[in-house]
Amino acid sequence: MKSLLCLFTVSSFAALAFGLWIPFKALIAQELLELAWAESQARQQQVRPWPWADTWPVARLNFAEPQQSMIVLDGAHGESLAFGPGQVFGDGGRAGPTVIAGHRDTHFKSLEHLKRGSRLRLQDRDGQWRSFRVSATRVVDSRHQLINTDALPEDALLLVTCYPFDGLESRGPLRYVVEAVATSSGYPSVVES
């Protein structure tokens, strides 16, 4: 009986540790990605954040309110979303529509607070910033809705994360989509000040 209780306690600890390890990893990885991003900006080429990584930083994403900055990785395949949001479609924030997906439990948790009119910006490898303004947020069902990338306007930025934000199921079908359009000015005034 005692050993059973022991086992139960241990496995509970294990689950908790695993659960805490994911956000911890997400936090640490972003630090490493900062270095890789700086290097790729300096050398103007793809830099892998660690030798065995299957992805590399392609852009930096900034939210104005709440203030948050993160490095966007290439693709949302494999485990890359655990380290940072991934660009599933687009050209490193340079031109054309961009679609970025991130985990709702880590990097994209703050998507919840983005509202219509919220500002965000995207930096490409050349250091150029593009500013966006949130035009709409909506919830979609990933099982019967797809992103029609051909129908996206040139200046669109789509941020995708899981929904509901406080959900427990990791394979749920719902997605929260934040649609943003590029604004003409280079820097949004809020971030500037």
31: Cβ contacts below 8 Å, ≥ 6 apart = none
Per CB under 8 A, the list member of 32, 35, 181, 191 interacting with other proteins is 181
Task: Kindly state whether residue 81 participates in binding other proteins, applying the rule CB under 8 A.
Answer: yes
Burial 144-179 (b: 16+ CB within 10 A, else e): eeebeeeebeebbbbbbbbbeeeeeeeeeeebbbbb
- Token reading at 124: 């490409």
Kindly write out the interface string for residues 27-56 of this chain, putting x where it contacts other proteins by CB under 8 A and - elsewhere: ------------------------------
53: Cβ contacts below 8 Å, ≥ 6 apart = 83
CB of 161 to other proteins, least distance (A): 5
Closest-CA residue to 85 (of 160, 138, 147): 160
CB of 124 to other proteins, least distance (A): 21
CB of 118 to other proteins, least distance (A): 15
Task: Kindly state whether residue 160 participates in binding other proteins, applying the rule CB under 8 A.
Answer: yes
Task: Kindly state whether residue 137 participates in binding other proteins, applying the rule CB under 8 A.
Answer: no
Please report the DSSP string for 84-131 in residue order: S-EEEESSTTSSS-EEEE--TTTGGGGGGG--TT-EEEEE-TTS-EEE
Per CB under 8 A, the list member of 48, 174, 183, 191 interacting with other proteins is 174
Which is nearer to other proteins, 11 or 69 (by Cβ)? 11
Task: Kindly state whether residue 163 participates in binding other proteins, applying the rule CB under 8 A.
Answer: yes
Q: Rule CB under 8 A: which residues touch other proteins?
A: 5-6, 8-23, 76, 81-82, 86, 88-89, 99, 101-106, 108, 135-136, 138-153, 156, 160-164, 166-176, 179, 181
